[in-house]
């Protein structure tokens, strides 16, 4: 029975009997109980999901990652922003297309490797901890585990000048597994025979 019809019925009976008789709500119990049971089931089900996943929903909602794919997508977006910031107005227009086509997909693969090493509920602790730096610094950005306050992966770009070949930008990353010693190649982009401007210029 619709709610408006129930209320109308109660008002009508009350008016006709001058308030001496109040209709019993027992006739509405089936509908109201089923509504209450449905609401209770929904609440209990969502609580079970949160507890069984160790609070994944709470962390994901708080941080904004609903899945590993969401984490990868957001980190990749941050990688692009930090990289273009580092390139600055002089370098960015020259290399941005090649960076997007060649380097960014490899950065995505590196971020995927990071995501695979952590349970989904721990991805919320992984954040971009260092932003791009200018001058001649190699740093683009780092991903840090806030729980341990340690870097997980560091993305860098180095200026190379092989003999008689001009200048190249070598993109690579380091991981915490070997204390950031080994270079993991992401690719290189040719600049020119002339010296490149400083980063962020």
- How does pLDDT run across 85-131, given as a tens digit for each residue? 999 999 999 999 999 999 999 999 999 999 999 998 899 999 998 67
Task: Write out pLDDT tens, residues 123-169.
Answer: 999 999 867 788 999 999 999 999 999 999 999 999 999 998 999 99
Could you tell me which residues come within 8 angstroms of residue 59 by beta carbon, excluding any fewer than 6 positions away? 65, 121, 124
Quick one: what percent of the chain has pLDDT higher than 90?
62
| Total residue length of the chain | 201
Mean pLDDT of the chain: 80
Provide the pLDDT for residue 42: 44
Give how far the C-alpha of residue 29 lies from the chain's centroid of Cα atoms, to the nearest Å.
46
Strand, helix or coil for residue 104: helix
pTM flag (> 0.75): no
Average of pLDDT values for 40-56? 42
Query: Is the separation of the CB atoms in 189 and 103 below 8 Å?
Result: yes
Q: State residue 2's pLDDT score.
A: 58
Residue scoring higher pLDDT (63 or 106): 106
pLDDT of 129 reads 82
Half-sphere exposure at residue 168, Cβ-oriented, CA atoms within 13 angstroms = 12
| Average pLDDT value for residue range 170-178 | 96
Tokens of 134: 């200018």
Q: What is the mean pLDDT of residues 54-80?
A: 69
Residue 7, both tokens: 């209320």
* pLDDT at residue number 10: 63
Mean pLDDT throughout 48-58? 39
> For residue 12, how far is the Cα from the chain centroid?
57
**199/132 Cα distance (integer angstroms):** 9
């Amino acid at each position: 029975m619709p709610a408006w019809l129930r209320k109308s019925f109660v008002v009508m009976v009350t008016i006709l009997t001058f308030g001496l008789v109040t209709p019993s709500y027992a006739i509405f119990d089936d509908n109201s109980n089923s509504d209450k049971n449905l609401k209770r089931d929904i609440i209990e089900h969502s609580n079970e999901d949160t507890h069984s996943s160790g609070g994944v929903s709470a962390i994901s909602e708080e941080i904004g990652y609903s899945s590993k794919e969401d984490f990868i997508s957001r980190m990749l977006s941050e990688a692009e922003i930090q990289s273009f910031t580092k390139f600055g107005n002089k370098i960015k227009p020259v290399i941005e297309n090649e960076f997007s086509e060649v380097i960014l997909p490899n950065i995505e693969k590196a971020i995927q490797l990071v995501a695979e090493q952590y349970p989904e509920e721990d991805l919320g602790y992984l954040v971009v901890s260092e932003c791009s730096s200018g001058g001649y610094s190699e740093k683009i950005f780092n991903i840090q585990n806030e729980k341990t306050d340690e870097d997980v992966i560091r993305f860098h770009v180095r200026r190379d000048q092989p003999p008689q070949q001009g200048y190249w930008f070598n993109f690579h990353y380091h991981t915490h597994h070997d204390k950031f010693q080994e270079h993991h190649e992401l690719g290189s982009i040719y600049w020119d025979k002339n010296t490149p401007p400083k980063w962020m210029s």
